[in-house]
């Protein structure tokens, strides 16, 4: 189907082809997927789909002609601001996801500094290594320097002294996460706020994944410290609805303490011959579907429903954490608050666990080691997990045992060889050799990932990034 059909296909034929294309996708119904998707009860799906389709065609490019979309957005921003301890001054926008929210927060900080601190010519931001990689993307896109600081190797929280030491005269923005994705740990936001005030800097809290569920968990008795606008010094917060609010993908917000700061987010283009372009966010034309669907799911599940979802999520998380803590050879990293956790293995490779779980129909996520964080397996747990936890835990414990008994996915000599490759020596031929070797070792070209993950982990982030770029550059091209 790589050329247009001469005669259009019937609706039935298109529907059948769609099903065929979707055949091998990661299944998400039934709670088997511990990353990427967040699964509400089946009845909620219909509400989301109805709202999405009802506003699919409306264009959020121009809120003056689609007052519906403006109303949805104002409602959603109001809900988000109240949820995050904001007052009536807090403003914000609906975006396509966490990455866009963070990109905008960084771009806003840059343009705010250009206006308020014009002496700064090469702005930088101080970012914990545990903060999501979308901050690196923002640094790259907007030419803001990235001053990466380590995290405590026991708690995986950033240390305020390290952040303070990284601040210089060109620093415009500090960053903390509540919680960070990798280990599910909340940074010391209160202390970061005090530091930001002391240095008169902006502070962005990335609450993309934790922001929605954490206040519910606090109400359930969990020790959730203040992490958003209730912390003095916090100037912007990002929070995704397409994670623990169970909205359709394409639903996040970025909020600012006041309009003065948000002004720097808005792009207005009047110097061309066409219509006036006034874009608060990155996209211009965009479907009203995600916005309407987000509004609908918030109204439908409501406060009581989300509290119940949080309770179910908490119970599943506690059971999984306890089982991992009791299992020999593995340990939970740090002390996560909320529905995410990561575990590492001592004395064996953690990566075969991922393949052993996949073979049993579960998706758990491998994470490479970096700056004090060992290679590990990440789990994002949601309300649907509770229904499958009794089946999941025996399979997880068995997979850990398989990995504990398995030979290393890559022999030590090969790892040493890979570790010694300087990133500059990288070329296509080397890449092809590496991939062929990994496929042969796994014997499972499609699903086997342990060998390639062990190799990527050994080669370090610079070389690994080149390899992964090459892989995607091949992937998004016609097969050879």
Ligand X SMILES: Cc1ncc(COP(=O)(O)O)c(C=O)c1O
What span, in angstroms and rounded, lies between the C-alpha atoms of 262 and 15? 43
CA distances from 167 to 85, 172, 186 (A): 27, 9, 21
What span, in angstroms and rounded, lies between the C-alpha atoms of 366 and 164? 32
Q: Which of 146, 156, 208 is nearest to 332 (CA)?
A: 156
User: Minimum CB separation from ligand X for residue 135, in Å?
Assistant: 8
User: Minimum CB separation from ligand X for residue 96, in Å?
Assistant: 8
Q: Which of 188, 153, 155 is nearest to 174 (CA)?
A: 188
With contact defined as beta carbons under 8 Å apart, do 279 and 267 qualify?
yes
User: Minimum CB separation from ligand X for residue 368, in Å?
Assistant: 16
Q: Which residues pair with 145 in a beta bridge?
A: 124
Q: Which residues pair with 215 in a beta bridge?
A: none
Identity of the residue, 34 or 181, whose beta carbon is nearer to ligand X in the bound complex = 181
Identity of the residue, 209 or 458, whose beta carbon is nearer to ligand X in the bound complex = 209
User: Minimum CB separation from ligand X for residue 418, in Å?
Assistant: 28
If you search the block for the tokens 């914990």, which residue do you land on?
A: 128
Identity of the residue, 80 or 399, whose beta carbon is nearer to ligand X in the bound complex = 80
Token pair for 166: 């990284």
Identity of the residue, 135 or 216, whose beta carbon is nearer to ligand X in the bound complex = 135
Residue nearest to ligand X (CB): 98
Q: Which own/partner pairs from 87-90 qualify as long-range (CB within 8 Å, at least 24 positions apart)?
A: 87/229, 89/257, 89/258, 89/259, 90/229, 90/255, 90/256, 90/257, 90/258
User: Minimum CB separation from ligand X for residue 180, in Å?
Assistant: 6
Identity of the residue, 163 or 208, whose beta carbon is nearer to ligand X in the bound complex = 208
Identity of the residue, 206 or 470, whose beta carbon is nearer to ligand X in the bound complex = 206
What span, in angstroms and rounded, lies between the C-alpha atoms of 269 and 450? 49
Binding site for ligand X (CB under 6 A): 97-99, 102, 132, 134, 177, 180-181, 206, 208-209, 240, 252
User: Minimum CB separation from ligand X for residue 457, in Å?
Assistant: 20
If you search the block for the tokens 């030590």, which residue do you land on?
A: 412
User: Minimum CB separation from ligand X for residue 266, in Å?
Assistant: 21
Identity of the residue, 96 or 171, whose beta carbon is nearer to ligand X in the bound complex = 96
Identity of the residue, 181 or 426, whose beta carbon is nearer to ligand X in the bound complex = 181
- Buried b / exposed e over 185-203, threshold 16 CB at 10 Å, is bbbbbbbbbbbbeeeebbb
User: Minimum CB separation from ligand X for residue 104, in Å?
Assistant: 12
CA distances from 329 to 348, 373, 402 (A): 8, 17, 12
Token pair for 19: 């099903």
Q: Which of 379, 344, 311, 380 is nearest to 457 (CA)?
A: 344
Identity of the residue, 68 or 365, whose beta carbon is nearer to ligand X in the bound complex = 365
User: Minimum CB separation from ligand X for residue 138, in Å?
Assistant: 11
What span, in angstroms and rounded, lies between the C-alpha atoms of 90 and 71? 16
Identity of the residue, 180 or 265, whose beta carbon is nearer to ligand X in the bound complex = 180
User: Minimum CB separation from ligand X for residue 300, in Å?
Assistant: 21
What span, in angstroms and rounded, lies between the C-alpha atoms of 21 and 5? 17
């Amino acid at each position: 189907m790589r050329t247009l059909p001469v005669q259009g296909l019937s609706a039935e034929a298109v529907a059948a082809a769609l099903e065929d294309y979707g055949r091998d996708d990661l299944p998400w119904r039934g709670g088997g997927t511990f990353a990427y998707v967040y699964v509400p009860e089946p009845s909620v799906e219909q509400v989301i789909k109805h709202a999405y389709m009802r506003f699919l065609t409306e264009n959020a490019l121009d809120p003056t002609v689609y007052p519906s979309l403006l109303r949805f957005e104002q409602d959603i921003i109001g809900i988000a601001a109240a949820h995050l301890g904001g007052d009536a001054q807090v403003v914000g926008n609906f975006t396509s996801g966490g990455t866009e929210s963070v990109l905008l927060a960084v771009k806003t900080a840059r343009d705010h500094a250009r206006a308020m601190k014009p002496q700064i010519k090469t702005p930088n931001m101080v970012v914990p290594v545990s903060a999501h990689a979308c901050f690196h993307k923002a640094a790259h896109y907007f030419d803001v320097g990235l001053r990466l600081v380590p995290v405590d190797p026991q708690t995986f929280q950033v240390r305020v002294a390290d952040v303070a030491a990284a601040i210089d005269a060109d620093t415009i923005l500090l960053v903390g996460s509540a919680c960070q994705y990798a280990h599910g740990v909340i940074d010391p936001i209160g202390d970061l706020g005090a530091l930001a005030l002391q240095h008169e800097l902006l502070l962005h809290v990335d609450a993309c994944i934790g922001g929605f569920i954490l206040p519910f968990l606090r109400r359930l008795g969990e020790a959730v410290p203040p992490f958003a606008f209730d912390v003095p010094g916090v100037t912007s917060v990002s929070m995704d609805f397409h994670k623990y609010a169970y909205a359709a993908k394409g639903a996040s917000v970025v909020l600012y303490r006041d309009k003065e700061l948000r002004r720097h987010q808005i792009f207005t283009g009047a110097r061309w011959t066409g219509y006036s372009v006034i874009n608060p966010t990155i996209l211009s034309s965009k479907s009203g579907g995600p916005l309407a669907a987000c509004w609908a799911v918030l109204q439908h599940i409501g406060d009581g429903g989300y509290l119940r979802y949080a309770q179910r999520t908490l119970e599943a998380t506690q059971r999984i954490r306890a089982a991992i803590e009791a299992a020999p050879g593995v340990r939970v990293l740090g002390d996560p608050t909320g529905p995410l956790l990561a575990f590492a293995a001592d004395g064996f490779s953690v990566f075969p666990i991922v393949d052993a779980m996949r073979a049993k129909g579960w998706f758990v996520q491998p994470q490479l080691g970096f700056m004090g964080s060992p290679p590990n397996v990440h789990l994002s747990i949601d309300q649907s997990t509770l229904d499958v936890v009794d089946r999941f835990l025996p399979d997880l414990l068995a997979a850990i045992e398989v990995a504990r008994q398995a030979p290393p996915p890559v022999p030590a000599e090969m790892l040493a060889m890979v570790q010694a490759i300087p990133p500059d020596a990288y070329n296509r031929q080397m890449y092809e050799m590496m991939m062929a070797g990994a496929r042969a070792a796994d014997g499972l070209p499609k699903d086997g990932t342990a060998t390639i993950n062990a190799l990527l982990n050994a080669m370090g982030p610079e070389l690994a990034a080149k390899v992964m770029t090459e892989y995607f550059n091949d992937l998004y091209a016609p097969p050879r």
